[in-house]
Amino acid sequence: MGQVENYKIENEYYRQLVSDRVRSDEALWQAIGACGLSFVYADGLPQSNVIMIGEAPGKDEVKFGRPFAGKAGAILDEILAKTGIRREDIYITNTVKYRLATSGSRPGTFKNRPVKPVEITYSLDWLRHEIEIIKPKIILTLGNVPLKAMSIMQNCDIMSVSACHGKAIGIQVGDMRTTLVPLYHPASQIYNHDLKPVFEEDFHNVERMYAEI
């Protein structure tokens, strides 16, 4: 992570900022409860032309200290290998940088939970800062959560992955023009096998775009 720090991502500053926002939100902090805040920073190449944005880290991501380290990460690695895109050549981050967890069925255990809309809002400055520092030519969102974040950032109607997956959408972030490509989350095909060919076709479109930059 030294490279990322040297690239002025200011992870510690934004970690404190998000922590303060979450802790000052009484309802949200009570919902988080004993789970606390387990942060995972971005991974990959800060000088990359491509940013990939997921939802939030899970148990495996916290354990290994990088995004997409669990089952969804294995699916992602497989499709990257098929398309010839090296994971280490892209910058991978999450919309929310801490694990979204709630108490599990047994005492002392935790399980993943859906993101709360306010958590996207609290984390938006951090994500925007990453994009403005990296200056990617392509932004890949995996799932509806990062797509919602980008929609809020654009001050436009909330886009849906099902409606615009695989499409190249021109957007503005700060003073930079870039291309957004919404994609299904890798984990979606675990629950819906019909999405696997769709996911692969969309990534082959990304492969063609990647070869041109």
Q: What percent of the chain has pLDDT over 70?
A: 97
Q: What is the pLDDT of residues 56-109, one digit of tens each?
A: 999 999 999 999 999 999 999 999 999 999 999 999 999 999 999 888 888 888
Q: What is the pLDDT of residues 177-199, one digit of tens each?
A: 999 999 999 999 999 999 999 99
> Model-level pTM?
0.94
Q: How far apart are CA 48 and CA 37, in angstroms?
A: 28
Side chain identity, residue 25 = D
What residues contact 172, with CB distance under 8 A and at least 6 apart? 154, 178
Residue 48 is encoded by which pair of tokens?
């990359």
